[in-house]
């Protein structure tokens, strides 16, 4: 894994110079070429490469120079450690001025009382805060743009590693990343970009060795996990680059790359990007999203994600499939990077497995008009959450309720393997909760489409793993051998009969009263509903509808046979829900034709 990251960093020119780190600079102190204070200039939104002394900057005596907090640079702190840090900052400018004369101008400006007073007064009137990172600009030159101090900085860092407490060893060892002999780096710089998934604000370390338990064979610190300074700098640089655009979902960051460059329009793994798959509403996805016809949505085609989905569904294969993908699932914990999972595989397999995923999701629309399009992943995850009124952000709920499950789902898609049973349980709970709610909608008796897609994928993949074929088709299968599926169909007909007999505004109908118990114990419920249906049929004035419902019930009864099961397991409950859903869609289609 580390070697592949290193190769990618080198091949794509992402590697960082040792002892440097990209930082966000809030503002620059503007000085004339003679050192006169001019004012403050806002920094760029892009991070810039600056010298970095690592974790020592978090201590009470050291700080970074060129880019540091305003309170330290301008000497506005009154605590002893703040004063000590500023003295170190000025000392660094004094040492560096032998290589870059601009540092001498900055040192004079920051130590001269009149100039410093002007800076502090102007700063207090500005919009900036003491915790904002400042740098300096002399004339047209910003300090981090100079390269004249690079040799001095390397010498300073080397002497510091040899003399003051980093415990670097001069004994050579094999680098864990490159395999080459190297003098191990004394400390490993931290990586930024994991704060939203549990990471620390100051960054997180990929390799840690600060506990006695990590020491063995008399080795200390870096000698236990030997990496060269150049290699770990390259690793950190490429991770920070990838993490900036990596999607975060259910508490992890999804990082991926390819051995060979892949055009954006053929990068299937971008389909896991939660930004590409989010709705306009930040918290509550549109419940009717999946009710759309399969007709091409022109607006959706404008997005890269939808174009990619369509190209895969249509079987448009990329010309070159001889490639390898790499996936890292990362989160932060107590200042350390947690590698939740690592995966690599064939690009061709990835292409075929995504095609299978889209095929498994294919299902008739709830209104019977065509087929649904591929749902947004964010919307699909929403159907696995508990149905409750909560003020908590949906993404936070996903991170909590779907922790661990998210990774299993993504790997199921990537590897074309069965989904966890927990997916079916959560989808069924969502369906039952929604079915029990009273609604004025004409679709009140229809299970949620996206939740049914979860069940269809779960059932078919589970059965294929056991050597069988797909047990659930895209639309109604009147000859499905599952009695549970047929029982779900029968319940749909009873509900439709009641709705036609008593109208849509009947309040809590048989679905609200009986669906939950019928989906687990059909033998105890469907007999009672059969008696009720005779009463409801007598209320329907349109005899053509009565005859059609009677034919439906007769046909379903033949499929069920002489007895109904008293209890249904998870598999059968899923088949019951899908039988109900697909029969309901067929009834809508039939009514439209009539």
pLDDT digits (tens, 9 = 90+) for 536-558: 888 888 888 889 889 999 999 99
Interacting residues of 20 by C-beta distance below 8 A, sequence separation 6+: 49, 50, 51, 52, 233
Maximum average pLDDT range among 37-46, 374-383, 582-591:
37-46
pLDDT at 85: 92
Q: Which residue has the higher pLDDT, 567 or 159?
A: 567
Are 184 and 191 in contact by the 8 Å Cβ rule? The answer is no
CA dist., res. 7 & res. 239, Å (int): 12
| 36-70 per-residue burial string, b: 16 or more CB within 10 A, e: under 16 | ebeebeebeeeebbbbbbbbbbeeeebbbbbbbbb
Least confident of 34-48, 190-204, 269-283: 269-283
- pLDDT-derived band at 213, boundaries 50, 70, 90: low
Residue 538's φ and ψ, nearest 5 degrees, are -70, -20
pLDDT at 590: 64
pLDDT at 294: 35
- pLDDT-derived band at 464, boundaries 50, 70, 90: very high
Maximum average pLDDT range among 219-228, 358-367, 398-407, 495-504:
358-367
- pLDDT-derived band at 110, boundaries 50, 70, 90: very high
Mean pLDDT calculated for residue range 415-419: 94
Are 363 and 371 in contact by the 8 Å Cβ rule? The answer is yes
Q: Give me the torsion for CA of 458, 462, 468, 472, rounded to 10°.
A: -10
Domain layout of the chain by residue ranges: 1-245, 289-325+340-593
Interacting residues of 460 by C-beta distance below 8 A, sequence separation 6+: 360, 470, 471, 472
Which residue bears the tokens 């990774």?
407
pTM of the complete model beyond 0.75: no
Least confident of 199-208, 473-482, 558-567: 199-208
CA dist., res. 436 & res. 5, Å (int): 50
Q: Which two tokens stand for residue 119?
A: 């800076």
- pLDDT-derived band at 17, boundaries 50, 70, 90: confident
Count CB-CB contacts under 10 A for residue 5.
24
Mean pLDDT calculated for residue range 116-144: 92
What angle do the packed helices 101-111 and 113-125 form, to 10 degrees? 80
Interacting residues of 79 by C-beta distance below 8 A, sequence separation 6+: none
pLDDT at 173: 83
pLDDT at 376: 76
Least confident of 130-134, 283-287, 354-358, 411-415: 283-287
Reply yes or no on whether the pLDDT at 150 is more than 60.
yes
Mean pLDDT calculated for residue range 371-387: 84
């Amino acid at each position: 894994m580390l070697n592949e990251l290193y190769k990618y960093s080198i091949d794509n020119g992402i590697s960082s110079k040792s002892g440097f780190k990209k930082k966000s600079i809030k503002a620059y102190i503007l000085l004339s070429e003679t050192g006169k204070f001019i004012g403050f200039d806002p920094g760029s939104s892009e991070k810039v490469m600056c010298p970095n002394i690592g974790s020592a900057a978090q201590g009470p005596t050291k700080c970074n120079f060129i880019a540091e907090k305003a309170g330290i640079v301008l000497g506005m702190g009154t605590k002893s450690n703040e004063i000590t840090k500023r003295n170190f900052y000025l000392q660094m400018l004094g040492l560096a001025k032998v290589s870059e004369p601009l540092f001498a101008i900055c040192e004079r400006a920051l130590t001269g009382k009149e100039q410093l007073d002007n800076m502090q007064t102007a700063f207090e009137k500005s919009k900036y805060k003491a915790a904002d990172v400042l740098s300096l600009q002399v004339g047209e030159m910003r300090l981090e743009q100079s390269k004249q101090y690079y040799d001095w900085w390397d010498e300073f860092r080397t002497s510091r590693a040899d003399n003051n407490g980093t415990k670097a060893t001069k004994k050579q060892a094999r680098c864990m990343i490159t395999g080459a002999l190297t003098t191990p780096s004394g400390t490993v710089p931290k990586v930024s970009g994991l704060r939203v998934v549990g990471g620390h604000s100051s960054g997180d370390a990929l390799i840690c060795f600060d506990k006695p338990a990590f020491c063995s064979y008399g080795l200390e610190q870096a000698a236990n996990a030997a990496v060269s300074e150049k290699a770990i700098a390259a690793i950190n640089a490429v991770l920070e680059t990838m993490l900036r655009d990596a999607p975060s979902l259910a508490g992890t960051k999804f990082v991926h790359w390819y051995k060979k460059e892949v055009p954006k329009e053929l990068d299937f793994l971008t389909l896991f990007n939660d930004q590409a798959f989010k709705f306009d509403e930040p918290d509550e996805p549109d419940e009717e999203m999946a009710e759309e016809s399969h007709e091409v949505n022109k607006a959706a085609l404008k997005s890269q994600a939808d174009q990619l989905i369509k190209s895969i569904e249509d079987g448009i294969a990329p010309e070159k499939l001889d490639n390898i993908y790499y996936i890292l699932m990362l989160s932060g914990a107590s200042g350390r990077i947690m590698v939740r999972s690592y995966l690599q595989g064939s690009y061709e397999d990835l292409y075929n497995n995504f095609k299978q995923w889209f095929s498994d999701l294919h299902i008739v629309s709830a209104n019977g008009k065509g087929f649904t399009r591929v749902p947004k992943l964010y919307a699909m995850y929403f159907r696995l959450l508990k149905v409750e009124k909560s003020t908590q952000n949906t993404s936070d709920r996903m991170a909590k309720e779907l922790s661990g499950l998210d990774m299993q789902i993504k790997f199921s898609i990537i590897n074309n393997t069965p989904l966890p049973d927990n997916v079916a349980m959560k989808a069924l709970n969502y369906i039952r909760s929604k079915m029990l709610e009273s609604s004025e909608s004409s679709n009140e008796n229809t299970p949620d489409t996206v939740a049914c897609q979860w069940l269809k994928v779960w059932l078919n993949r589970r059965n294929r793993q056991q050597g069988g074929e797909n047990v659930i088709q895209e639309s109604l299968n009147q000859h499905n051998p599952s009695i549970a599926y047929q029982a779900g169909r029968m319940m749909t007909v009873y509900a439709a009969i009641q709705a036609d007999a008593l109208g849509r505004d009947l309040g809590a109908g048989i679905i609200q009263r009986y669906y939950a118990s019928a989906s687990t114990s059909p033998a105890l419920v469907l007999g009672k509903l059969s008696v009720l249906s005779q009463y409801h049929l007598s209320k329907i004035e349109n005899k053509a509808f009565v005859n059609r419902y009677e034919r439906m019930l007769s046909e379903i009864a033949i499929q069920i046979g002489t007895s109904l099961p008293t209890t249904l397991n998870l598999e059968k409950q899923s088949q019951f829900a899908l039988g109900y859903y697909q029969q309901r869609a067929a009834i809508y289609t039939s009514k439209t034709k009539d």
